[in-house]
Structure formats: structure tokens, C-alpha cells
A and B are shown apart, each in its own frame.
Chain A
Amino acid sequence: MNGCYINGIANISAQKTADPNSFLGDVIAHEELIFRSHEFNYKDYIKPSAMRRMSKSVKMGVATSKMALSAAELEMPDAIITGTGMGCRQDSEIFLEKILYNDEQFLTPTLFIQSTHNTVGGQIALGLGCKAYNVTYVQASVSFETSVIDAQLMLSESPDKNILVGGIDEIAKNSTLLHTLDGHIKSEKLPILDLLDSKTSGTVCSEGATFVVLGGEKTKNSVAKIVDVETKNSATPEEIKVEIQRFMRRNEITIDDIDAVVLGNNGNVEYNHYYKNVQDSLFSNTEQLCYKHLIGEYHTASAFGFYIASKVFQFGNVPSVLKVNDIRAKTYKNILLYNQYRAKNHSIALLQQC
């Protein structure tokens, strides 16, 4: 069977994660329910002339993709696959508001041109002059995972390829705020570092980008092997437990082989039982890590699980801010990820040290 190796990874989030040599050393304590990604010197990666017209997600996507390519020492990928829940929501929102406020008059094309979900993938291709396969997935909280599944499939078809895969989501002023009205975002403020202990429904919202370069062969730059990824559109907590067990069996691995589990807990009491059900049973003797109290929730936030696993393998230890129980693994060889959003779009992934 062919492999799927992460040969380069980069991340921009509400924490200082853009620096490849640190791993959550200096944590930012956010206070707002909707919080932006940590400001970052985009000029190192994007020409100011090009940057002027770029929305946040294009900037984050282009910069992160360049960092990941450089970590993998790759100039030209053989495919570009992006995942995004919201797409270029800022530009879509402004275009929509102009339509609604001006009765469909006085519109200009730039916002519309940049509003499509595949704008980031298209802009990266344009920047690189990459004429290869280019697809964008927009399936809520499995947008990144479905992109990885496509890449894995492609590596099983042609193992020589190097595939650039990314997950990007941005906050848009008004459309994001609308989710305070339908209960997706909490109504009362809290220190975001305490998010996981919240006793209320809803969650927070942030933004970010994660890019990986995936290849079929292990290289000197490989940081992790993606053994398997699975998505499930809807399931009960019990069905998820069974699904995780089936997933482990399929990959010929037992619970004792799992050194740590990375979970997508987001402080929403209404849906927390999906995590609690496996935290209290399957994983009661496994080191448990969570991250959304640091980087917030957004559709491609789960890509941060891939980032954490890669960093744990690379650094050999786990920053205490991620730990949610007292179990400590001796070494880190296998890390399992599980994420869901409001009982829908579940993902399970297994990453291995390489």
C-alpha cells in the first residue's frame, strides 16, 4: 500500500503558529467571541502590489501555501486541493450588501470575481503558474478532511505526485455575526482559554489557514504519515464510538497503540457529549488534547489537529495548554484525531510518526 506523508506543513491561526520553530510557546488569551488570526508579516510572502486586492483568506492561503511548499522544498505541486467552509466570505458579503442596499445598481466586478469558493485555489495556481488538478471542497467541518481524502486517493493512483492541500476560512464582519442570532456563536463573553469548561450552548469563531504538502514517499522533510482519514456526515455519539473502533480495526491498531487523541471540543454544551462519550470510555486511559480554546472554531479548524500531531512528532512533547486529562504518553507514535460540528460532518484521522 502506498503512503501519504506530510512533507511540509504550515499554519496561520489566532496563535503565533506561523513560526515553524515554535510550538505554542507563547499563548495569546483571546477575549472576544469572534477573534481574528494573529497578525503576520504577509509581505515576506506576497508582493505589496498583489496584496492590495487580496482578501484575508487569499492572503492567509497564499502565504501559508508558500510556507508549506518551502518546508517541503517543493517548487511546483502536481495538484492543488483546498477546503473551505465559508470561502471568500468577506468579498461575497460586501458584494451581496451592495446588491441589497443599492437595489442592484452601481456594482463592479472585482468583488464578484473574488467571491467564489475556489478563489484561493485559483490564486495559488495563478501565482505558481500551476496547470495541474485544482479542486475546492466546501463541506462545513470536513472541508479539509475531504481535501485530504482526495489527495490520498490521488497518491494511491500515482504515488510520485506531490500535492498541496489546504484548509482556509476567514471571518466576515456581518455574516459571521449572524451566527450569534442562530445560536452557533455564544451570546455571553468568556475568557476564550476557559472555552472548554463553558456551561452554555454555542461556541466562538475565528479564522486561519493550514497547508500541507503530501507525497507518496517519505522524504527527509517528512513530519508525519497520514495513515487514514474518514468522514461521516451524521451519526449518534454511540455510532461514532463504534465507527472509531471500526476505523482502528481497519488500520490494525488497538486503543493501546494510540498515544494521544486530539479532539475538537468547542465548549458547546449541547454537542459536547459526542466528545465526552469517547473521552470517558474508549480514551479514558489515553492522553487527550484539545485546541479550540486557543485557535477558536471555524470549518477548517480541524486541520489544526493535523498541525498538532505533526508538531508533537517533531518536538516529542506536548505543550501543557493542550492537555485536558492527566494521562501522559511516554512516546508519541500514533495520534488519533476526532472532530465534529453540531452532530454533523464528523472526521476521524490517524497520523503516525515517520
Chain B
Amino acid sequence: MNKGIAITGMGIISSIGNTVAENLNALLAESDGISRIKFLETRHKDAIMVGEIKKTNEELVQELGLNAINNFSRTAMIGSIAAKEALLDAGIEEIDEYRTGFISGTSVGGMDMTEQHYLDYHKKTTNRRYIEAQHAGFTTQSISAYLGIKGYVSTISTACSSAANAIMLGARLVKAGKIDRIIVGGTDALSKFTINGFGTLMILSDEQCTPFDNDRKGLNLGEASAYLVLESDEIVAKTNKKVYGHVRGWANANDAYHQTASSSDGEGAYLAMKQALEVADIAVDDIDYVNAHGTATINNDLSEGIAMTRIFGEDKVPTFSSTKAFTGHTLAAAGGVEAVYSILSLQENMIFPNLNFKTQMEEFNLVPQTSILSKKMHTVLSNSFGFGGNCSTLIFSK
């Protein structure tokens, strides 16, 4: 039987908590992290709601013990915090004891620093150490240096499905025996670049987002970082470690419909879910819960909903929710954040609610889970979709 790849550690920082434990508490308390912007300087401050991590860059520098003169972007700092928690959680002290790799997803990387200093680089020499932060891979470089990972290090940038693709690749590398253990997930900090970018697409909500609601107004952007540690069965057996669950199925398909919009028949999403079930070698009935991408945009929720009715049958869609009303859409990190929530769901035998839902969409009869649900859990399916037609599905099991 295909058992999947063992998950031995988790780390997360998001607008609902700075650790896995804090995130779990907020989920159980149905307490969201959506607010007005406090730290980021933008003229849209009062026009949108976001999921902001309530820590200043100075606080992050201190928490990580970095020099005052460092070249870590906010994206790299929150990434380092989550990755460090994941390593600790997996009980990894000696990085070089086994072949250890790192794959991080990010969309804008160090854009937060680039946009702060871009116009001053020519005039002032003080902040030129941040010039390299304009490369997304540099974010991963900073985190891997912080963790001391020197071998296989990679960055995936497929917009909002980046972390899901990182987890998928990590599982494949461990399965093939190419690496013994790997830290996988993603990180993205809020930036003016993304706020204005999504703003031009007119898909930012000025209120708390309402995934899968007929009257949804768009998404809340969020910032977060989340990583899993995946390890080979050999290490798990040898060290007798705790295993949270397994990455059991995965697939990546392309919608090939439009650079940013999802197709009306949800073809890419449908293919990703279908192929992930095949890789996991399980039936649709085996899925206890779907952690949907559910960004609360008109386009995504319709396309994803239709894809779910196609794969499961309209009357047989499993219990599902989008947790984006808690955290906002954390872009490249979303697949990592929702992987952590999926595993917590398996651990706790709890399904976390789709907050703010009121009215069923008129296109189909799908109603998300709107309050905490206690349920015996075995298998969770999690979706992540992104610009460029990227659709990825992961399946986690106990």
C-alpha cells in the first residue's frame, strides 16, 4: 500500500499566531487575524483588510538574533522563524547528520525591501546590501544560511501554488531516495507590490473575506510562512520519531485557460484533484475533508466549486472549508499554511470552519462547514491554485 511520505515536523507564523500551537488555538477559538494594516506603509491602508503578522521587522530581527546590519527581507525573516520551528519540532539538531534539503515557495521574495529602498539605491550607499533581495531565490538563500543547510536548496515560484508544489517536490525526492529529509513550504510577506497588483485586478475586498458566499467581494491578502519536515521511512524507523501524518497524494496540472483567471469548468483544478487521488491510490469517498483554495474571489470559488462537483458529484462533495477567512490569502505560503492546518485537522479530529459564510452560491448547492466540527479524520485533500494556470492538489493522511 502507498503509505506516503512521513511528516515529522511543522512550523508556521501567520496573522493568527506565531507558532503551530498559537495557530491551532486561534482556529479552535474561531478567531481570525484579519484587520486593517498596521505596519506596511501604503495609501490603501484604510481601504482594505489584510492578514498581517503583528510583529515589526525590528522585533523579527531580535527574535532571530540577527545582526542589526543584516540583509534579511521580511519574507526571509518570517520564513526563518517558521522553518526553525519545523526543525525543532522534528527534533533535528545536526543538519548534516543526513542529506537534508530545503525547498521554499515564494512569489515576490524580498519585494518588501526592494520597494522600500529601490529609489534610494543610487543616492545612498547604506542599504545596498538589500539590492540582491530583488531575486526571489535570495530569500531562500537567507533562510538556508540561517538554518545551515548547504546541500540541495531550491525555490519554487508558481504564484499562489508555490508552497504546494514545494511539498510535492519534496515528497517525490524523498520517495525516490534522492534525499533523506527535506524542509518544504513557503513564505510571503505583505508588500505594496502585491497589494497594488491585486488591487488593479479589482479582487481585493474592503471587508472580511467570505469564501464560497454568493455575495463574496474578493480576497484579503495575508502574510505568512509555513514549513513541513518530510523524512524517509529509514530515518523514522531508526530514530523512532513521532509522525504527524503522511503526504500521500500529489498532482500539478495546468488550466491552460488564461494567465490569471480560472476556467469556468475548473478543468485545471479537476485534473489536479483527479491525479492526486490516483497517486494516493484512494477513492473519492476516502476524503474526509477538503481544505479548499477558496480565496473568496468571484472567479476562484466558482471554478473550484465546479471542479469539486465534477470530481465528487454535486451531492457527494465532502465536508469542505476555506481557512482563508482566518489568515487571508497568503499567496506563495498558502499551500504550506493549509498543509499545516490539514495536518492539525487530522491530529485533532477537527474540521476548522469557513468563517463569514452566509448565503449559498446560486450556481451549485455547495455549503462549506461554518463552525468547528468534530469528526473522525483519516484523509484530507488540500487545493492551491495560482496565476499561470497552476493548479496543485495535495492529499494528507494519518
Q: Describe A's contact surface by its main secondary structure.
A: mixed
Does chain A have a CB within 8 A of B247?
no
Interface pair A231/B192, CB less than 8 Å apart: no
Docked Cα-Cα span, A140 to B106, in Å, equals 13
Interface pair B131/A182, CB less than 8 Å apart: yes
For the complex formed, measure the closest distance between the CB of B75 and the CB atoms of chain A, giving whole angstroms: 13
Contacts of B157 in A (CB 8 A): 87, 116-118, 136-138
Contacts of A232 in B (CB 8 A): 150-152
What's the interface size class on B, roughly?
35 or more
Quick check: which of B11-19, B81-89, B385-393 contacts chain A, the rest being far away?
Answer: B385-393
Does chain A have a CB within 8 A of B144?
yes
Does chain A have a CB within 8 A of B62?
no
Contacts of B158 in A (CB 8 A): 117-118, 121, 134-136
A residues 184-213 near B (Cβ < 8 Å) are: 184
Does chain B have a CB within 8 A of A61?
no
Quick check: which of A31-39, A95-103, A215-223 contacts chain B, the rest being far away?
Answer: A95-103
Interface pair A153/B131, CB less than 8 Å apart: no
Does chain B have a CB within 8 A of A318?
no
Does chain A have a CB within 8 A of B291?
no
For the complex formed, measure the closest distance between the CB of B199 and the CB atoms of chain A, giving whole angstroms: 7
Interface centre among A92, A125, A153 (most CB of B within 10 A): A125
A residues 88-114 near B (Cβ < 8 Å) are: 89, 92, 95-97, 99-100, 103-105, 107-109, 112-114
For the complex formed, measure the closest distance between the CB of B82 and the CB atoms of chain A, giving whole angstroms: 19
For the complex formed, measure the closest distance between the CB of B331 and the CB atoms of chain A, giving whole angstroms: 10
Q: Which of B137, B154, B259, B390 contacts A113 (CB 8 A)?
A: B259
Does chain A have a CB within 8 A of B149?
yes
Interface pair A138/B136, CB less than 8 Å apart: yes
Q: Which of B115, B138, B198 contacts A96 (CB 8 A)?
A: B115
Q: Which of B44, B153, B172, B252 contacts A231 (CB 8 A)?
A: B153
Contact string, A120-139, partner B, CB cutoff 8 A, digits 1/0?
Answer: 01110110111111111111
What's the interface size class on A, roughly?
35 or more
Does chain B have a CB within 8 A of A273?
no
Does chain A have a CB within 8 A of B338?
no
Q: Which of A118, A181, A182 contacts B159 (CB 8 A)?
A: A118
Does chain A have a CB within 8 A of B35?
no
B residues 101-140 near A (Cβ < 8 Å) are: 102, 106-107, 109, 111, 114-115, 118-119, 121-122, 125, 128-129, 131-132, 134-138, 140
Does chain B have a CB within 8 A of A296?
no
Q: Which of B119, B159, B258, B388 contacts A100 (CB 8 A)?
A: B119
Does chain B have a CB within 8 A of A264?
no
Interface pair A153/B176, CB less than 8 Å apart: yes
Does chain B have a CB within 8 A of A157?
yes
Interface pair A131/B268, CB less than 8 Å apart: yes
For the complex formed, measure the closest distance between the CB of B74 and the CB atoms of chain A, giving whole angstroms: 16
Does chain B have a CB within 8 A of A235?
yes
Interface pair B172/A99, CB less than 8 Å apart: no
Interface pair A134/B150, CB less than 8 Å apart: no
Does chain B have a CB within 8 A of A175?
yes
Interface pair B43/A95, CB less than 8 Å apart: no
Docked Cα-Cα span, A191 to B155, in Å, equals 34
Contacts of A123 in B (CB 8 A): 259
Does chain B have a CB within 8 A of A146?
yes
Interface pair A130/B254, CB less than 8 Å apart: yes
Docked Cα-Cα span, A235 to B152, in Å, equals 12
Docked Cα-Cα span, A146 to B159, in Å, equals 18
Contacts of A150 in B (CB 8 A): 169
Contacts of A184 in B (CB 8 A): 131-132
Interface pair B131/A233, CB less than 8 Å apart: no
Contacts of B134 in A (CB 8 A): 89, 175, 178
Does chain A have a CB within 8 A of B253?
yes
Contact string, A232-268, partner B, CB cutoff 8 A, digits 1/0?
Answer: 1111000000000000000000000000000000000
Q: Which of B150, B254, B255 contacts A233 (CB 8 A)?
A: B150
Interface pair B137/A125, CB less than 8 Å apart: no
Does chain A have a CB within 8 A of B267?
yes
Contact string, A294-328, partner B, CB cutoff 8 A, digits 1/0?
Answer: 00000100000000000000000000000000000
Interface centre among A115, A121, A123, A138 (most CB of B within 10 A): A138
Q: What residue in chain B is nearest A105 (Cβ atoms)?
A: B43
Interface pair A132/B254, CB less than 8 Å apart: yes
Q: Which of B109, B154, B197 contacts A137 (CB 8 A)?
A: B154
Interface of A toward B, CB cutoff 8 Å: 80, 85-87, 89, 92, 95-97, 99-100, 103-105, 107-109, 112-119, 121-123, 125-126, 128-140, 142-143, 146, 150, 153, 156-157, 175, 178-179, 181-182, 184, 231-235, 299, 344-345
Please list 10 pairs of residues, one from A and one from B, whose beta carbons are closer than 8 Å in the complex, sorted by A's number.
A95-B196, A105-B43, A109-B201, A115-B197, A117-B159, A126-B389, A138-B155, A143-B137, A235-B150, A345-B137
* Additional A-B contact list (7), CB under 8 Å, known A104-B43, A131-B267, A143-B137: A87-B136, A117-B159, A118-B158, A125-B254, A134-B158, A138-B135, A233-B102
